[in-house]
Chain A
Protein backbone atom coordinates (compact mmCIF):
# COMPACT_ATOMS: atom_id res chain seq x y z
CA UNK A 1 0.00 0.00 0.00
CA UNK A 2 1.20 3.48 -0.83
CA UNK A 3 -0.59 6.67 0.12
CA UNK A 4 -0.03 10.04 -1.52
CA UNK A 5 -0.76 12.94 0.79
CA UNK A 6 -0.31 15.58 -1.90
CA UNK A 7 -2.37 14.51 -4.89
CA UNK A 8 -5.59 15.98 -3.50
CA UNK A 9 -7.51 12.69 -3.40
CA UNK A 10 -8.98 12.34 0.11
CA UNK A 11 -6.99 9.82 2.14
CA UNK A 12 -10.01 7.68 3.05
CA UNK A 13 -10.70 7.16 -0.67
CA UNK A 14 -7.06 6.21 -1.24
CA UNK A 15 -7.29 3.66 1.56
CA UNK A 16 -10.45 2.12 0.09
CA UNK A 17 -8.76 2.08 -3.32
CA UNK A 18 -5.61 0.42 -1.99
CA UNK A 19 -7.55 -2.29 -0.19
CA UNK A 20 -9.49 -2.94 -3.41
CA UNK A 21 -6.19 -3.15 -5.30
CA UNK A 22 -4.91 -5.73 -2.84
CA UNK A 23 -8.11 -7.75 -3.22
CA UNK A 24 -7.79 -7.62 -7.03
CA UNK A 25 -4.16 -8.71 -6.97
CA UNK A 26 -4.91 -11.50 -4.51
CA UNK A 27 -2.90 -10.11 -1.59
CA UNK A 28 -6.11 -10.23 0.47
CA UNK A 29 -7.96 -13.39 -0.68
CA UNK A 30 -11.70 -13.74 -0.13
CA UNK A 31 -12.81 -14.73 3.37
CA UNK A 32 -9.52 -13.67 4.92
CA UNK A 33 -8.97 -10.85 7.38
CA UNK A 34 -7.67 -7.47 6.22
CA UNK A 35 -5.37 -5.38 8.47
CA UNK A 36 -7.13 -3.62 11.35
CA UNK A 37 -7.87 0.10 11.53
CA UNK A 38 -5.16 0.43 14.18
CA UNK A 39 -2.56 -1.41 12.11
CA UNK A 40 -3.17 0.79 9.06
CA UNK A 41 -3.40 3.94 11.19
CA UNK A 42 -0.08 3.37 12.98
CA UNK A 43 1.73 2.18 9.84
CA UNK A 44 0.86 5.30 7.83
CA UNK A 45 0.52 7.74 10.77
CA UNK A 46 -3.03 8.67 9.85
CA UNK A 47 -6.03 9.34 12.03
CA UNK A 48 -7.94 6.11 12.75
CA UNK A 49 -11.23 7.86 11.94
CA UNK A 50 -9.94 8.38 8.39
CA UNK A 51 -9.07 4.69 8.06
CA UNK A 52 -12.46 3.69 9.42
CA UNK A 53 -14.20 5.96 6.90
CA UNK A 54 -12.40 4.18 4.06
CA UNK A 55 -13.24 0.74 5.46
CA UNK A 56 -16.89 1.69 6.01
CA UNK A 57 -17.08 2.66 2.35
CA UNK A 58 -16.03 -0.89 1.43
CA UNK A 59 -18.45 -2.46 3.93
CA UNK A 60 -21.30 -0.41 2.44
CA UNK A 61 -20.17 -1.44 -1.03
CA UNK A 62 -20.34 -5.14 -0.13
CA UNK A 63 -16.57 -5.64 -0.45
CA UNK A 64 -15.73 -6.17 3.23
CA UNK A 65 -17.75 -7.45 6.16
CA UNK A 66 -17.31 -7.13 9.87
CA UNK A 67 -16.98 -10.05 12.26
CA UNK A 68 -17.86 -8.73 15.67
CA UNK A 69 -14.88 -8.66 17.97
CA UNK A 70 -12.56 -10.08 15.33
CA UNK A 71 -12.19 -7.55 12.53
CA UNK A 72 -12.87 -6.91 8.86
CA UNK A 73 -12.90 -9.70 6.28
CA UNK A 74 -13.04 -9.84 2.49
CA UNK A 75 -16.52 -10.86 1.38
CA UNK A 76 -16.96 -13.78 -0.96
CA UNK A 77 -17.33 -12.52 -4.53
CA UNK A 78 -15.54 -9.27 -3.64
CA UNK A 79 -12.84 -9.72 -6.26
CA UNK A 80 -15.38 -9.97 -9.07
CA UNK A 81 -17.29 -7.03 -7.66
CA UNK A 82 -14.18 -4.82 -7.56
CA UNK A 83 -13.26 -5.87 -11.08
CA UNK A 84 -16.74 -5.01 -12.40
CA UNK A 85 -16.64 -1.63 -10.67
CA UNK A 86 -13.20 -0.81 -12.00
CA UNK A 87 -14.29 -1.79 -15.52
CA UNK A 88 -17.19 0.63 -15.31
CA UNK A 89 -14.81 3.39 -14.19
CA UNK A 90 -12.19 2.57 -16.83
CA UNK A 91 -13.68 4.89 -19.47
CA UNK A 92 -13.82 7.92 -17.17
CA UNK A 93 -10.54 7.26 -15.39
CA UNK A 94 -8.33 6.26 -18.29
CA UNK A 95 -9.92 6.86 -21.70
CA UNK A 96 -11.07 10.41 -20.98
CA UNK A 97 -7.69 11.33 -19.45
CA UNK A 98 -5.92 9.83 -22.48
CA UNK A 99 -8.09 11.81 -24.90
CA UNK A 100 -7.56 15.07 -22.99
CA UNK A 101 -3.77 14.68 -23.04
CA UNK A 102 -3.84 13.63 -26.70
CA UNK A 103 -5.81 16.77 -27.58
CA UNK A 104 -3.15 18.96 -25.95
CA UNK A 105 -0.47 17.20 -27.98
CA UNK A 106 -2.59 17.25 -31.18
CA UNK A 107 -2.63 13.49 -31.47
CA UNK A 108 -5.68 12.32 -33.44
CA UNK A 109 -7.95 9.46 -32.27
CA UNK A 110 -6.77 7.44 -35.26
CA UNK A 111 -3.18 7.79 -34.15
CA UNK A 112 -4.15 6.72 -30.62
CA UNK A 113 -5.83 3.60 -31.97
CA UNK A 114 -2.71 2.78 -33.97
CA UNK A 115 -0.54 3.22 -30.84
CA UNK A 116 -2.84 0.99 -28.80
CA UNK A 117 -2.81 -1.76 -31.45
CA UNK A 118 0.96 -1.51 -31.60
CA UNK A 119 1.31 -1.54 -27.78
CA UNK A 120 -1.01 -4.51 -27.37
CA UNK A 121 1.04 -6.49 -29.91
CA UNK A 122 4.22 -6.15 -27.88
Chain B
Protein backbone atom coordinates (compact mmCIF):
# COMPACT_ATOMS: atom_id res chain seq x y z
CA UNK B 1 0.00 0.00 0.00
CA UNK B 2 1.11 3.53 -0.75
CA UNK B 3 0.10 6.03 1.92
CA UNK B 4 0.32 9.81 1.89
CA UNK B 5 -0.16 11.26 5.35
CA UNK B 6 -0.85 14.93 5.93
CA UNK B 7 1.15 15.95 2.89
CA UNK B 8 1.73 19.64 2.26
CA UNK B 9 3.85 20.75 -0.65
CA UNK B 10 4.76 24.39 -1.05
CA UNK B 11 6.56 25.86 -4.01
CA UNK B 12 7.85 29.40 -3.67
CA UNK B 13 4.49 31.23 -3.82
CA UNK B 14 2.13 28.35 -4.36
CA UNK B 15 0.82 25.67 -2.04
CA UNK B 16 0.26 22.73 -4.40
CA UNK B 17 -0.96 20.20 -1.81
CA UNK B 18 -2.62 21.03 1.50
CA UNK B 19 -2.58 18.46 4.30
CA UNK B 20 -3.54 15.74 1.84
CA UNK B 21 -4.35 12.21 3.00
CA UNK B 22 -4.83 9.32 0.62
CA UNK B 23 -3.87 5.67 0.30
CA UNK B 24 -3.59 3.32 -2.66
CA UNK B 25 -4.32 -0.30 -1.73
CA UNK B 26 -2.98 -3.51 -3.24
CA UNK B 27 -4.02 -4.89 -6.61
CA UNK B 28 -6.47 -2.23 -7.60
CA UNK B 29 -6.70 0.13 -10.54
CA UNK B 30 -7.05 3.73 -9.42
CA UNK B 31 -8.13 6.69 -11.49
CA UNK B 32 -6.42 9.84 -10.22
CA UNK B 33 -8.48 12.69 -11.61
CA UNK B 34 -8.30 16.44 -11.32
CA UNK B 35 -8.30 19.59 -13.41
CA UNK B 36 -5.08 21.14 -14.66
CA UNK B 37 -3.04 22.39 -11.73
CA UNK B 38 -5.04 20.42 -9.13
CA UNK B 39 -1.90 18.69 -7.82
CA UNK B 40 -1.99 15.24 -9.48
CA UNK B 41 1.55 15.29 -10.85
CA UNK B 42 2.87 16.85 -7.64
CA UNK B 43 1.41 13.94 -5.67
CA UNK B 44 2.95 11.36 -8.05
CA UNK B 45 6.31 13.16 -7.97
CA UNK B 46 6.21 13.13 -4.15
CA UNK B 47 5.37 9.41 -3.99
CA UNK B 48 8.36 8.65 -6.22
CA UNK B 49 10.69 10.92 -4.25
CA UNK B 50 11.27 13.30 -7.16
CA UNK B 51 9.98 16.01 -4.85
CA UNK B 52 10.31 16.32 -1.08
CA UNK B 53 7.18 17.16 0.92
CA UNK B 54 7.19 20.42 2.90
CA UNK B 55 5.26 18.57 5.61
CA UNK B 56 3.91 15.06 6.08
CA UNK B 57 5.08 11.54 5.30
CA UNK B 58 4.91 9.02 2.48
CA UNK B 59 5.04 5.26 2.96
CA UNK B 60 5.36 2.36 0.53
CA UNK B 61 4.32 -0.95 2.10
CA UNK B 62 4.94 0.66 5.49
CA UNK B 63 8.45 1.88 4.60
CA UNK B 64 9.21 5.59 4.41
CA UNK B 65 9.54 6.43 0.72
CA UNK B 66 12.20 9.09 1.08
CA UNK B 67 15.67 8.08 -0.18
CA UNK B 68 14.65 4.45 0.12
CA UNK B 69 15.76 2.23 -2.80
CA UNK B 70 13.79 -0.80 -1.61
CA UNK B 71 10.58 1.20 -1.44
CA UNK B 72 11.17 3.06 -4.70
CA UNK B 73 12.20 -0.16 -6.49
CA UNK B 74 8.65 -1.40 -6.05
CA UNK B 75 7.33 1.54 -8.05
CA UNK B 76 7.60 2.31 -11.73
CA UNK B 77 6.55 5.81 -12.72
CA UNK B 78 5.78 7.02 -16.18
CA UNK B 79 6.00 10.77 -15.74
CA UNK B 80 4.51 13.32 -18.08
CA UNK B 81 7.89 14.99 -18.62
CA UNK B 82 10.47 13.28 -20.74
CA UNK B 83 13.72 13.59 -18.82
CA UNK B 84 15.89 11.60 -21.24
CA UNK B 85 18.46 13.35 -23.38
CA UNK B 86 17.44 13.51 -27.07
CA UNK B 87 20.47 11.37 -27.95
CA UNK B 88 19.38 8.44 -25.75
CA UNK B 89 18.12 5.40 -27.64
CA UNK B 90 14.97 3.63 -26.45
CA UNK B 91 16.98 0.41 -26.06
CA UNK B 92 19.34 2.19 -23.67
CA UNK B 93 16.42 3.55 -21.65
CA UNK B 94 15.17 -0.05 -21.24
CA UNK B 95 18.63 -1.03 -19.90
CA UNK B 96 18.51 1.82 -17.38
CA UNK B 97 14.99 0.83 -16.32
CA UNK B 98 16.34 -2.60 -15.38
CA UNK B 99 18.77 -0.93 -12.96
CA UNK B 100 15.93 0.76 -11.09
CA UNK B 101 13.40 -2.08 -11.30
CA UNK B 102 15.21 -5.43 -11.05
CA UNK B 103 12.10 -7.24 -12.29
CA UNK B 104 12.22 -5.40 -15.62
CA UNK B 105 11.46 -7.83 -18.46
CA UNK B 106 13.40 -6.84 -21.59
CA UNK B 107 11.76 -9.43 -23.86
CA UNK B 108 8.32 -8.26 -22.78
CA UNK B 109 9.36 -4.63 -23.37
CA UNK B 110 10.62 -5.44 -26.88
CA UNK B 111 7.43 -7.38 -27.61
CA UNK B 112 5.31 -4.41 -26.51
CA UNK B 113 7.45 -2.01 -28.54
CA UNK B 114 6.84 -4.17 -31.63
CA UNK B 115 3.07 -4.15 -31.02
CA UNK B 116 3.10 -0.35 -30.88
CA UNK B 117 5.41 -0.09 -33.88
CA UNK B 118 8.17 1.51 -31.79
CA UNK B 119 11.73 0.95 -33.00
CA UNK B 120 13.96 0.54 -29.87
CA UNK B 121 16.96 1.65 -31.96
CA UNK B 122 15.52 5.18 -32.27
CA UNK B 123 16.72 8.11 -30.19
CA UNK B 124 14.31 10.07 -28.00
CA UNK B 125 15.00 13.18 -30.06
CA UNK B 126 13.71 11.41 -33.17
CA UNK B 127 10.40 10.38 -31.59
CA UNK B 128 7.08 12.20 -31.92
CA UNK B 129 5.11 13.17 -28.76
CA UNK B 130 3.01 10.04 -29.13
CA UNK B 131 6.00 7.72 -29.51
CA UNK B 132 7.80 9.35 -26.56
CA UNK B 133 4.70 8.48 -24.48
CA UNK B 134 4.75 4.95 -25.90
CA UNK B 135 8.45 4.41 -25.06
CA UNK B 136 7.84 5.52 -21.47
CA UNK B 137 4.64 3.53 -20.95
CA UNK B 138 6.24 0.38 -22.37
CA UNK B 139 9.08 0.76 -19.84
CA UNK B 140 6.58 1.02 -16.99
CA UNK B 141 4.39 -1.87 -18.19
CA UNK B 142 7.51 -4.09 -18.45
CA UNK B 143 9.01 -2.89 -15.14
CA UNK B 144 7.80 -5.87 -13.10
CA UNK B 145 7.04 -3.39 -10.30
CA UNK B 146 4.23 -3.78 -7.77
CA UNK B 147 3.06 -0.21 -8.31
CA UNK B 148 2.60 1.18 -11.79
CA UNK B 149 2.07 4.95 -11.88
CA UNK B 150 1.06 6.62 -15.13
CA UNK B 151 0.83 10.40 -15.56
CA UNK B 152 -1.13 11.16 -18.75
CA UNK B 153 -0.06 7.87 -20.39
CA UNK B 154 -1.98 8.40 -23.61
CA UNK B 155 -0.72 11.93 -24.34
CA UNK B 156 -0.37 12.22 -28.11
CA UNK B 157 -1.50 8.64 -28.77
CA UNK B 158 -3.98 7.96 -31.59
CA UNK B 159 -7.20 6.04 -30.87
CA UNK B 160 -5.69 2.70 -31.94
CA UNK B 161 -2.70 3.05 -29.66
CA UNK B 162 -4.87 4.22 -26.74
CA UNK B 163 -7.01 1.08 -27.07
CA UNK B 164 -3.87 -1.04 -27.31
CA UNK B 165 -2.48 0.57 -24.15
CA UNK B 166 -5.65 -0.13 -22.12
CA UNK B 167 -5.66 -3.70 -23.45
CA UNK B 168 -2.01 -4.31 -22.56
CA UNK B 169 -2.46 -2.68 -19.16
CA UNK B 170 -5.33 -5.06 -18.32
CA UNK B 171 -3.38 -8.03 -19.68
CA UNK B 172 -0.40 -7.09 -17.48
CA UNK B 173 -2.74 -6.61 -14.50
CA UNK B 174 -4.28 -10.06 -15.05
CA UNK B 175 -0.88 -11.72 -15.56
CA UNK B 176 0.80 -10.24 -12.50
CA UNK B 177 -1.56 -8.37 -10.15
CA UNK B 178 -0.31 -4.89 -9.29
CA UNK B 179 -1.56 -1.52 -8.13
CA UNK B 180 -2.15 0.89 -10.98
CA UNK B 181 -2.56 4.65 -10.61
CA UNK B 182 -3.78 6.28 -13.82
CA UNK B 183 -3.75 10.04 -13.91
CA UNK B 184 -5.66 11.18 -16.95
CA UNK B 185 -7.99 13.79 -18.41
CA UNK B 186 -9.70 11.26 -20.68
CA UNK B 187 -12.25 10.21 -18.07
CA UNK B 188 -14.75 8.57 -20.40
CA UNK B 189 -12.10 6.24 -21.81
CA UNK B 190 -11.05 4.89 -18.43
CA UNK B 191 -14.33 5.04 -16.51
CA UNK B 192 -15.05 1.30 -16.89
CA UNK B 193 -11.42 0.34 -16.46
CA UNK B 194 -10.74 1.88 -13.06
CA UNK B 195 -11.93 0.22 -9.88
CA UNK B 196 -11.47 3.19 -7.60
CA UNK B 197 -11.77 6.93 -8.16
CA UNK B 198 -9.67 9.61 -6.46
CA UNK B 199 -10.43 13.23 -7.36
CA UNK B 200 -8.03 16.01 -6.35
CA UNK B 201 -9.12 19.62 -6.23
CA UNK B 202 -7.05 22.59 -5.07
CA UNK B 203 -4.46 20.33 -3.47
CA UNK B 204 -6.83 18.23 -1.37
CA UNK B 205 -8.81 15.03 -1.92
CA UNK B 206 -12.35 15.85 -3.00
CA UNK B 207 -13.56 12.29 -3.56
CA UNK B 208 -12.14 8.82 -2.81
CA UNK B 209 -14.52 5.96 -3.61
CA UNK B 210 -14.96 2.62 -5.36
CA UNK B 211 -16.03 3.23 -8.97
CA UNK B 212 -19.19 1.16 -8.58
CA UNK B 213 -20.53 3.61 -6.01
CA UNK B 214 -20.18 6.58 -8.34
CA UNK B 215 -23.35 5.88 -10.25
CA UNK B 216 -25.39 5.93 -7.05
CA UNK B 217 -24.01 9.30 -6.00
CA UNK B 218 -26.23 11.40 -8.18
CA UNK B 219 -28.51 11.69 -11.17
CA UNK B 220 -29.83 14.16 -13.74
CA UNK B 221 -33.48 15.19 -14.03
CA UNK B 222 -34.91 16.97 -17.03
CA UNK B 223 -38.29 18.48 -17.88
CA UNK B 224 -40.06 21.83 -18.01
CA UNK B 225 -38.06 24.47 -16.18
CA UNK B 226 -40.80 25.21 -13.62
CA UNK B 227 -41.32 21.50 -12.86
CA UNK B 228 -37.59 20.85 -12.44
CA UNK B 229 -37.12 23.89 -10.21
CA UNK B 230 -40.15 23.02 -8.08
CA UNK B 231 -39.08 19.42 -7.55
CA UNK B 232 -35.38 20.00 -7.03
CA UNK B 233 -35.62 22.89 -4.57
CA UNK B 234 -33.92 21.97 -1.31
CA UNK B 235 -31.88 19.26 -3.02
CA UNK B 236 -28.12 19.32 -3.51
CA UNK B 237 -27.92 20.72 -7.05
CA UNK B 238 -24.47 20.48 -8.65
CA UNK B 239 -25.39 22.43 -11.74
CA UNK B 240 -28.12 23.14 -14.26
CA UNK B 241 -28.38 23.56 -18.01
CA UNK B 242 -31.19 25.14 -20.01
CA UNK B 243 -32.28 24.70 -23.61
CA UNK B 244 -35.37 26.75 -24.40
CA UNK B 245 -38.00 25.84 -21.82
CA UNK B 246 -36.24 22.57 -21.00
CA UNK B 247 -34.05 22.34 -17.93
CA UNK B 248 -31.53 19.73 -16.82
CA UNK B 249 -30.51 19.62 -13.18
CA UNK B 250 -27.59 17.51 -11.96
CA UNK B 251 -28.29 16.48 -8.39
CA UNK B 252 -26.28 14.72 -5.69
CA UNK B 253 -27.99 12.24 -3.40
CA UNK B 254 -30.75 9.63 -3.53
CA UNK B 255 -33.30 10.22 -6.23
CA UNK B 256 -36.28 8.87 -4.27
CA UNK B 257 -39.60 9.12 -6.10
CA UNK B 258 -39.54 11.29 -9.22
CA UNK B 259 -42.82 12.70 -10.60
CA UNK B 260 -43.98 11.49 -14.02
CA UNK B 261 -43.40 14.82 -15.73
CA UNK B 262 -39.63 14.59 -15.13
CA UNK B 263 -37.14 12.26 -16.81
CA UNK B 264 -34.23 10.79 -14.84
CA UNK B 265 -30.91 9.85 -16.42
CA UNK B 266 -27.77 8.58 -14.70
CA UNK B 267 -24.88 10.89 -13.84
CA UNK B 268 -21.74 9.29 -15.20
CA UNK B 269 -18.21 9.75 -13.86
CA UNK B 270 -17.28 12.43 -16.38
CA UNK B 271 -20.38 14.55 -15.65
CA UNK B 272 -19.92 14.09 -11.93
CA UNK B 273 -16.30 15.15 -12.26
CA UNK B 274 -17.16 18.25 -14.30
CA UNK B 275 -19.84 19.43 -11.90
CA UNK B 276 -17.87 18.66 -8.75
CA UNK B 277 -14.74 20.43 -9.95
CA UNK B 278 -16.55 23.38 -11.54
CA UNK B 279 -17.91 24.64 -8.26
Using a CB–CB distance below 8 Å, which chain A residues touch chain B? 3, 5-8, 10-12, 37-38, 41-50
Contacts and interface: CB of A to CB of B under 8 A. Distances in A.
Contacts of A6: 268
Interface in B129-185: 163, 166-167, 170-171, 173-174
A45 B171 contact: no
B266 interface: yes
B266 A41 contact: no
B174 A41 contact: yes
Given A45-B189, A45-B192, 10 more contacts: A3-B192, A5-B192, A38-B170, A42-B170, A42-B171, A45-B167, A47-B193, A48-B173, A48-B174, A49-B195
Interface of B: 29, 163, 166-167, 170-171, 173-174, 188-189, 191-195, 211-212, 215, 265-266, 268
B215 A8 contact: yes
A10 B215 CA distance: 8
A3 B193 CA distance: 13
Nearest to B188: A5
Nearest to B170: A42
A43 B171 CA distance: 10
B194 A42 contact: no
Given A8-B266, A10-B212, A10-B215, A45 B174 contact: no
A5 B191 contact: yes
A contacts with B: majority SS: helix
B111 to A, nearest CB: 16
Contacts of B192: 3, 5, 11, 44-47, 50
15 contacts: A5-B191, A6-B268, A7-B266, A10-B215, A38-B171, A41-B174, A42-B167, A42-B170, A44-B192, A45-B189, A46-B193, A47-B29, A49-B195, A50-B192, A50-B195
A6 B267 CA distance: 9
A102 to B, nearest CB: 15
Contacts of A41: 170, 174
A48 B191 CA distance: 13
A103 to B, nearest CB: 10
Contacts of A3: 192
Contact of B193 (A12, A38, A43, A45): A45
A45 B266 contact: no
B174 A8 contact: no
Nearest to A100: B260
A6 B191 CA distance: 11
B194 A47 contact: yes
Query: Closest 10 interchain pairs by CB?
Result: A8-B266, A38-B174, A46-B192, A45-B166, A42-B170, A47-B195, A42-B167, A41-B170, A45-B193, A42-B171
B189 to A, nearest CB: 8
Contacts of A8: 215, 265-266
B216 to A, nearest CB: 10
A5 B193 CA distance: 11
A29 to B, nearest CB: 26
A10 B174 CA distance: 22
